[in-house]
Amino acid sequence: MRNRQGDIDIGMAMVAKELMNDSIVTEPDDDVIAVHEAGHLIVGVLVGRRALKVSIDRIGSKRGCFWDPESGPDWDDFSEMRCLIAGPRAQITLKPKSVPAERRPLFRDRIIQPSETLWSIPQGVYDFTGWDNDVLPVHDYLRTPHAPADEGWPPCPSHLQVVDRAEEVLLRFFSDTAVQVGTRRVAEALLKARLTQGAEAENLVNGQDVNFANDLLAWR
């Protein structure tokens, strides 16, 4: 799971509307995109990933967080899972109405939902969320749920345990009032700038008046 391609579009929130009994997917609201990408950016920076840029608008076919593909020496499966799930967790916490009402209870405690088969994502769960680029790598990782995570990493948890713990710490992190305030501030800055480059993007996290407590993201 290390050194995942850095310029993959990390995903974005989509809003579903029902018109004349036909479901259509609209373009996401910019403020929803900003909160989603703020979640990815904050957690990614805090757990050691280097941001190249964050774009609210499309650059070619992609937008969102663009990461340096070379991760640091401390990057591991737990870091990757936290970074992937962070955007959806921030979105469902701060912008719950961006997800259809009937789907929201599914994501109250977990973003990654169980699937009937190890080889596919659950049908009809993530429709209209636009989270494919976030959830597909996690479901792929869970194809081997009992395989050990990074070799030599104590206590050598399984893939399933890594994802479960990532879900737990992100739920705790984004439930924190100070973190929510800081996430909104980062989102506002991303939205205002539209395109935020490298060090400037990281400074949005590290330079906040609100202190993002890393211990809330720790394995414990």
Q: How far is CA 132 from CA 72, 83, 108, 129, 178, in A?
A: 25, 14, 18, 8, 29
pTM: 0.86
Residue 9 domain-assigned (yes or no): no
> Residue 152's pLDDT is what?
60
Q: Residues 109-155: pLDDT tens digits?
A: 999 999 888 777 888 898 878 898 899 999 999 999 999 998 666 67
Q: How far apart are CA 142 and CA 209, in angstroms?
A: 37
Please tell me what DSSP assigns to residue 121. Answer: P
> Residue 175 sits in a domain of what CATH number?
1.20.58
69 belongs to a structural domain = yes
Domain membership flag for residue 54: yes
Q: Which residues of 134-167 are buried (b: 16+ CB within 10 A; e: fewer)?
A: bbebbbebbeeeeeebbeeeeeebebebbbbbbb
* Per-residue confidence (pLDDT) for residue 209, from 0 to 100: 66
Instruction: State the sign of the Cα–Cα–Cα–Cα dihedral 55, 167, 142, 125.
Output: negative
Q: Could you tell me which of 124, 108, 157, 4 has the C-alpha nearest to residue 66?
A: 4
pLDDT of residue 52: 96
Contact indicator for 217, 43 with CB cutoff of 8 Å: yes
**Is residue 3 domain-resident?**
no
Q: To which residue do tokens 């259809």 refer?
A: 100
Taking the C-alpha atoms of residue 205 and residue 212, their distance in angstroms, rounded to an integer, is 8
Structural domain boundaries, residue 79:
15-217
Q: Let me know if residue 122 belongs to a domain.
A: yes
Q: What is the pLDDT along the chain (220 residues), one digit of tens a residue?
A: 544 434 334 333 333 332 223 333 456 799 999 999 999 999 999 999 999 999 999 888 889 999 998 877 788 999 999 999 999 999 999 999 999 899 999 999 999 999 888 777 888 898 878 898 899 999 999 999 999 998 666 678 999 999 999 999 999 999 999 999 999 999 999 999 999 999 999 999 998 666 787 899 999 8
If one counts the domains in the chain, the total is 1
